[in-house]
Amino acid sequence: MAKVATIELARISAWGVVQGVGFRPFVYRLATKYELKGWVCNTSEDVKIEVQGESKDLQHFLKELQENVPPQARIEGISVTYHPPTDYKAFEIGHSIAQEGKYQLVSPDIATCQDCRREVFDAADRRYHYPFTNCTNCGPRFTIIQDIPYDRPMTTMRSFKMCSECQAEYDDPLNRRFHAQPNACPKCGPQLELLDARGEHISSSDPIAAARLLLQDGRIVALKGLGGFLLTCNATDNGAVRALRQRKKRPFKPFAVMVADIAEARKNCHVSEQEEKLLLSPQSPIVLLRWQSESRVCQSVAPNLKYLGVMLPYTPLHHTLIEEAGAPLVMTSGNLSEEPIAKDNDEALRRLYGIADYFLVHNRDIYARYDDSVAMVERDSVQITRRARGYAPYPIHLSFQAKQVLACGAEQKTTFCLTRDNYAFISQHIGDLENLETMEHFENTLALYRELFRIRPEAVAYDLHLEYLSTKYALGLAGRFKLVPVQHHYAHIASCMADNGVETPVIGVSFDGTGYGSDDHIWGGEFLVADYNGFKRVGHLEYLPLPGGEAAIKKPYRIALGYLLKLLGEDSLKAGLPFLKQTDLVEIDLVKRQVQTGLNSPLTSSMGRLFDAVSALINVRGEIDYEGQAAVELEMAAYDGSEAGNSSYPYSIAEWDDVSVVHLQELFSAILKDMLQGVSKANISARFHNTVAKMVCEVCQEVSRSTGIKQVALSGGVFQNRLLLRNVIALLESAGFSVLTHRQVPCNDGGISLGQAVVANFAII
Ligand SMILES: [Zn+2]
Ligand SMILES: [Zn+2]
Ligand SMILES: [Zn+2]
């Protein structure tokens, strides 16, 4: 007797990034392949599938469903239940179902895929040179979405009605553009327009070609990209780069460049296999690469630096603009100093007036501002220093079930973080919360995230610094939410733990420029024993004066002077130190008074400030244009200090009440001695880096002896210093520690909100 095949019906729910990434057509193709009947549809929380067929076919279907997902889809979870069969005649794609209170993950914007790129450069294709070409595997997502489910009417593409050809692609489940919400072509989609500095239309049949000529001619063009305007100019034209610096009032801050392809990247920088992979990834971030001396990119693009931020074209607009121009292009945020990146045409014309000579704009609105992400590969792992395009709003996975919490971040490089379920939704990089425009960006982005992920926080976490706008924002919510203050350096360490999914206690090394301490002093060179329930400060750099407070941060020579006076006394100033020769005597007297009286001279244990002080002291950098410049240039100097070998400077550690305080008098006097003996800046700097690494290891060993903890978490902006990071990890590992570093969120203040959110979650249990 022939065996009768069993017909079964499976109800499937798949969640994760499963919408706007070609998931339903993939399901459709799979169902067709196995001759299954039923349907698939999007809801506000998942993709629901009902399939009916022979059980062996169902099993194949389920296996492939999980193993062969489209490139941009990510299944976070799947559930399957079996039911008696019903009378399905075919397999269909159903309409989206919106559900109150439900949410799903939203895909970040994705760099142009190979298929779209091929079409854009195929003269016979109807999308030849069309800058808004995309498909379900690539293109804008987060920047155009206003709400979920992710359907065209919920995006800024709603104002473009598809032509019949585009509509046919959109409706065909077997087409790469099936339900690609931003689908468009030259006939029906967004269009480019070239404008002059005053916003007057410049007539041109090919605005990209016209812009390319302008760039070749040394002009500065503001380019509307995915998440806002970028200022661009020819990176091999020193005059153009200098003009851009002058107009942006940024003499030193490094600019990133976009190069046509990997071959061009290799002509300018050293590119490892890992770095190549990162450059070519769908996230397509700016990657900090080791710059070659024979590079044709002008030094003025990143003055005094040995690393260059490089990215590849990530939209068809960039591909078309650069592939035929050839030369690397500077691409820097379209803003004046620290305002958020301009996103609307009118806003750009107003705010970038006087900076850009021309504007290449288009009529597809940007809903969410979205900067380029910045990443580096260190010790074979990717570290993100600015997390935005390509990464946000994809969440970080938590090791526990979270409550609904909002964490407001700090001040510089701010992000906020919202938690629910086992997710931490960290916003894209918002910027320095120092002005109202950035605060508005913060509030608008927060409203969008709360809406997209349906989060109604029960607690709000914030930094102890009362002057931060993020703190003021949180305090303004008092009475409506439970407020949880979280100390800055503890938040850094908790962030690093969460980034690594670690809940057991760690020795946290939290090094940055400035953070408000629990004792009202400015912390920044901290050793903590911490877990999510709390922390104990077990070590720090000794307190030293910051003459003039905040003002000293922009003038590291003042810090050097203050530290010298405090540690070695006035006699040390008589040694004829080069950095003092440029300093005004009145200012020296002022600093002396501030150090003596303590007036307007707060105390700090900051490691960032120690780097600043040493940088100024040995005459590497006394005044800065961008945050961290003195320390960054000190690091650059150290790369040339090979004679220093493994040698280090002396320092001492004093124990007081179970707290190890690192004293720096011997360090400063040894550096002075080296200077007077004519040791090069490079070798002093290298030796200084060795010293800090040794110091970290020694304090950690001390703490480990009394606590038994063998796990060290490194966090804080100072660990963007790659040389220090490498040295510290090497020493700690050889001393038997396991070392946690950041992977998914920045070690700088861009990662603080994650730590705050995690701590708040444990505080409100
Ligand atoms: Zn594509
Ligand atoms: Zn069309
Ligand atoms: Zn910090």
Say if residue 338's pLDDT is above 80: no
Residue 439 vs residue 72, higher pLDDT: 439
Cα–Cα distances (Å) from 94 to 24, 133, 179, 367, in that order, read 10, 26, 12, 27
Q: Give yes or no for a contact between 594 and 561, defined as CB atoms under 8 angstroms apart.
A: no
Range 378-406 average pLDDT: 96
Q: Return residues with CB closer than 5 A to ligand 2 (ion).
A: 163, 166, 185, 187-188
Q: How far, in Å, from the CA of 178 to the mean position of ligand 2?
A: 13
The region that residue 648 occupies, defined by phi over 0 for left and psi between -120 and 50 for alpha, beta otherwise, is beta
Q: How far is the CA of 678 from the centre of ligand 3 (A)?
A: 35
> Is pLDDT at 698 greater than 90 in this prediction?
yes
pLDDT band at residue 336, thresholds of 50, 70 and 90?
confident
- 554 CA distance to ligand 3 middle (Å): 17
366 in helix, strand or coil? coil
Q: How far apart are CA 268 and CA 264, in angstroms?
A: 7
pLDDT at 460 over 90: yes
Distance CA 155, CA 392 (A): 17
Ligand nearest to the CA of 117: 1
Is it true that 7-93 and 395-486 share their CATH fold? Answer: no
Predicted pLDDT of residue 328: 97
Q: How confident is the model at residue 324 (pLDDT cuts 50, 70, 90)?
A: low
**Has residue 325 got a pLDDT over 60?**
no
| Per-residue tokens: 464 | 């102890």
Structural domain boundaries in the chain: 7-93, 114-171, 192-375, 395-486, 540-740
Q: Are 286 and 372 contacting, i.e. CB atoms less than 8 angstroms apart?
A: yes
Span from the CA of 85 to the centroid of ligand 1 (angstroms): 37
Which ligand has its closest atom nearest to the C-alpha of 180? 1
Q: Could you say which ligand is closest to the alpha carbon of residue 170?
A: 2
Work out the pLDDT band at 390, boundaries 50, 70, 90: very high
Residues 728-741 have pLDDT tens digits of 999 999 999 999 99
CA of 134 to the centre of ligand 1 (A): 5
Ligand 1 centroid from CA 177, angstroms = 8
What's the average model confidence in pLDDT over 564-578?
92
Tell me which fold the domain 395-486 belongs to. Answer: Nucleotidyltransferase; domain 5 (3.30.420)
Average pLDDT over residues 149-167: 92
CA-to-CA dists, residue 134 to 159, 209, 314, angstroms: 17, 21, 11
Amino acid at 324: E
The rounded Å distance from CA 169 to ligand 2 centre is 9
Residue 543 has pLDDT above 70, yes or no: yes
- Give the model's pLDDT for residue 151: 83
- Predicted local confidence at residue 142, as pLDDT: 93
Average pLDDT over the chain reads 95
Distance in Å, CA 525 to ligand 1 centroid: 47
Residue 2 predicted with pLDDT over 60: no
Neighbours of ion ligand 3 (CB under 5 A): 512, 515, 749
Q: Report whether pLDDT(312) > 80.
A: yes
Element (H or E) spanning 87, and its range? none
Starting from the CA of residue 516, give the closest ligand: 3
Average pLDDT over residues 327-356: 91
Cα of 160 from ligand 2 centre, angstroms: 9
Residue 285 alpha carbon to ligand 2 centre in Å: 30
Distance 139 CA to ligand 1 centre (A): 7
CB count within 10 Å of CB 289 equals 24
Among residues 18, 173, 155, 176, the alpha carbon closest in space to that of 94 is found at 173
| Domain topology for 7-93 | Alpha-Beta Plaits (3.30.70)
Task: Quote the ligand 1 centre to 229 CA distance (angstroms).
Answer: 22
CATH level 3 topology of 192-375? DHBP synthase (3.90.870)
Average pLDDT over residues 479-507: 97
365 C-alpha to center of ligand 2: Å? 18
Residue 5's pLDDT is 75
Q: Please report the pLDDT score of residue 72 as a whole number.
A: 85
Q: Compute, in angstroms, the gap from residue 116 CA to the centroid of ligand 1.
A: 4
Shortest-distance ligand to the CA of residue 165: 2
Ligand that lies nearest to the alpha carbon of residue 464, given by its number in the listed order: 3
Tens digit of pLDDT for each residue in 444-454?
999 999 999 99
CA 756 to centroid of ligand 3, rounded, Å: 12
Confidence of residue 1 (pLDDT cuts 50, 70, 90): low
E strands present in 228-367: 229-234, 256-258, 269-270, 286-291, 307-311, 329-333, 358-362
Distance 262 CA to ligand 1 centre (A): 19
Q: To the nearest whole percent, how much of the chain has pLDDT over 90?
A: 87
What is the CA(226)–ligand 1 centre distance, in A? 15
Distance 409 CA to ligand 3 centre (A): 10
Task: Report d(CA 120, CA 135) in Å as an integer.
Answer: 12
Give the architecture-level CATH label for domain 540-740: 2-Layer Sandwich (3.30)
Ligand index nearest the alpha carbon of residue 140:
1
Output 605 or 342, whichever has higher pLDDT: 605
Q: What is the pLDDT of residue 95?
A: 82
How far, in Å, from the CA of 413 to the mean position of ligand 3?
A: 10
* Model pLDDT for residues 602-635, shown as the tens digit of each residue: 999 999 999 999 999 999 999 999 999 999 999 9
Q: Which two tokens stand for residue 575?
A: 């040694």
Ligand 3 centroid to Cα of residue 752, in Å, is 7
Which ligand has the minimum distance to the alpha carbon of residue 71?
A: 1
Tell me if 721 sits within 8 A of 631, measured CB to CB: yes
Q: Which residues pair with 74 in a beta bridge?
A: 17
Instruction: Kindly indicate the confidence band of residue 4, based on its pLDDT and cuts at 50, 70 and 90.
Output: low
How close is the Cα of 749 to the center of ligand 3, in Å?
A: 5
pLDDT of residue 45: 87
pLDDT of res. 108 = 93
| Cα–Cα dist 193/359, whole Å | 8
- pLDDT tens-digit map of 53-87: 999 999 999 999 999 999 889 999 999 999 999 98
Q: Which ligand is nearest to the CA of 316?
A: 1
Which pLDDT belongs to residue 111? 96
CA Rg value for the chain: 28
